[in-house]
Amino acid sequence: MDVLQYTDAHQQFREHARTFLANEVIPFVDQWEKDKIVPRDIWRSIGKAGLLCTTVPELYQGPGHDFLHAVIVNEELSRTNHYGLMASLHSDIIAPYIATFGSEEQKHKYLPGCVSGDIVLALAMTEPDAGSDVASMTATAVEEGDEIVIDGAKTFISNGIHCDLVVVAAKDPAVENPHAAVSLYLVEDGTPGFNKGNKLDKMGMYSQDTSELFFSGCRIPKENLLGTKGQGFIMLMKKLQQERLVCSIMAVATAEHVCRQMLSHCKTSSVSGKPICKSQSIQFKLVEIATDVQIGRSFLDQLIADHMEGKDVNTQTSMAKYWTCEMVNRVVRESLDILGMEAVTENCHLVRTFRDVRVMPIFAGTSEVMKVIVAKNLGF
């Protein structure tokens, strides 16, 4: 019996997502990768198709679907062999901050645009000298009358070029406890004092717009505080379970896609008149790849089910995040070895995959940070 119970409606939604991506995304990926950015209009197109913010309630003009719809979108996006359209970040990592912690005014103001693609979201946490250690950030937020003044720099911000709204983590310099000093704020594009830096030229994920963001005397109204002041660190921690789960979904779906491609390739390609798959050494590698993928899928599906039931699986999602992201890198490396000389040019589709998945063990908390979290939760 399958752990996840997909209904006919879920399957129809998957077919809809797959068809949309086949027609509106996959044919243009190569050009987007050359341009090193996706066009802004694709966000509105995918929003119109109902594939953004699938769990946002109907009250805020969202589809009001369950989390399995988000899983489906993330899996189908992974089949496009590119990560330029970072819809998972927008829909399933950042929008939930607004949906959970936002005031009714903030939800009605911003969530409909997030669903339609008229608003692209970014999350500004990482700084030049502060990554996984949120408490060490130096960006400040100071109250002055009815306004909040934000100063600081953020870097490696996904959706940083296209973003229309940024959830910014900043500290009150008057609070000594670094964890209690962090709050989250909503900053709109075009706000004086908020400037976007150049798009960063990365090793992979070429068409995904990653940039620096700068805040210099950036004034926002007090009502742009997200949630409760001083609770930013706790709010971030509460949402990390889903964030890391989403990363695992991307990793496993990508590994499955690569595995399917390699099995087909080895059955249809020949060396010295024999299919590659008849070589025992190749068979062993394919078995190892298929086993890794199956283990990842089994673990992931159980975590998705537990997450949907509201269970606390922070330890397990930390395990899954580090293991699945390392696993997909292992699968792609082994696949490139099988391809041999075919894998030395850009014509090989796995070359892009190899570049793109390299960052997975780094973003959303490195593998080492995941192990530290698990070790603490095991009582070490």
Return the domain boundaries, the chain.
8-118, 123-230, 238-377
Token readout for 230 is 């001083």
Whole-number pLDDT of residue 135: 76
We find that the CATH architecture of domain 8-118 is: Orthogonal Bundle (1.10)
**3-class state of residue 366 by DSSP:** coil
| CA-based torsion, 261, 263, 264, 267: positive or negative | positive
**3-class state of residue 148 by DSSP:** strand
Give the integer Cα–Cα distance in Å for 249 and 294. 13
CB 86 within 8 A of CB 159: yes
**Percent over 90 (pLDDT), the chain:** 88
| CA-based torsion, 344, 345, 346, 347: positive or negative | negative
- Give residue-wise pLDDT tens across range 111-150: 999 999 999 999 999 998 877 777 789 999 999 999 999 9
Angle between helices 349-357 and 232-268 (to 10 degrees): 160
- Give residue-wise pLDDT tens across range 233-259: 999 989 999 999 999 999 999 999 999
Give the integer Cα–Cα distance in Å for 321 and 24. 30
Give the integer Cα–Cα distance in Å for 256 and 264. 12
Number of H helices, E strands in the chain: 12, 10
CA 310 to chain centre: 21
Nearest to residue 95, comparing CAs of 116, 83, 111, 109? 111
Whole-number pLDDT of residue 341: 87
Whole-number pLDDT of residue 248: 98
Token readout for 157 is 């911000």
The residue count of the chain comes to 380
Whole-number pLDDT of residue 364: 87
> What would the mean pLDDT of 316-340 be, rounded to a whole number?
96
Nearest to residue 66, comparing CAs of 7, 3, 2, 1? 7
Q: How confident is the model at residue 1 (pLDDT cuts 50, 70, 90)?
A: low
- Give residue-wise pLDDT tens across range 331-348: 999 999 999 888 888 889
CB 138 within 8 A of CB 152: yes
**Percent over 70 (pLDDT), the chain:** 99
Report the amino acid identity of residue 153: A
CB 150 within 8 A of CB 215: yes
Paired sense of beta strands 270-271 and 274-275, if any: antiparallel
Q: How confident is the model at residue 325 (pLDDT cuts 50, 70, 90)?
A: very high
Give the integer Cα–Cα distance in Å for 317 and 218. 36
**3-class state of residue 346 by DSSP:** coil
Q: Which residues are catalytic?
A: 243
Question: Given 2.30.110.10, 2.40.110.10, 3.30.260.10, 3.40.1380.10, which CATH number is that of 123-230?
Answer: 2.40.110.10
CATH number attached to the domain at 238-377: 1.20.140.10
Specify the pTM. Answer: 0.94
Inter-CA distances, 294 with 130, 245, 290, 320, 350, Å: 36, 17, 6, 13, 20
Give the integer Cα–Cα distance in Å for 244 and 214. 26
Element (H, E) at 271: strand 270-271
Strands (E) located in 106-255 = 121-124, 140-144, 147-158, 165-171, 182-188, 194-199, 210-221, 225-226
Element (H, E) at 323: helix 314-339
- Give residue-wise pLDDT tens across range 166-224: 999 999 999 989 989 999 999 999 999 999 998 999 999 999 999 999 999 999 999 99
Whole-number pLDDT of residue 57: 97
CB atoms under 10 Å from CB of 223, counted, come to 12
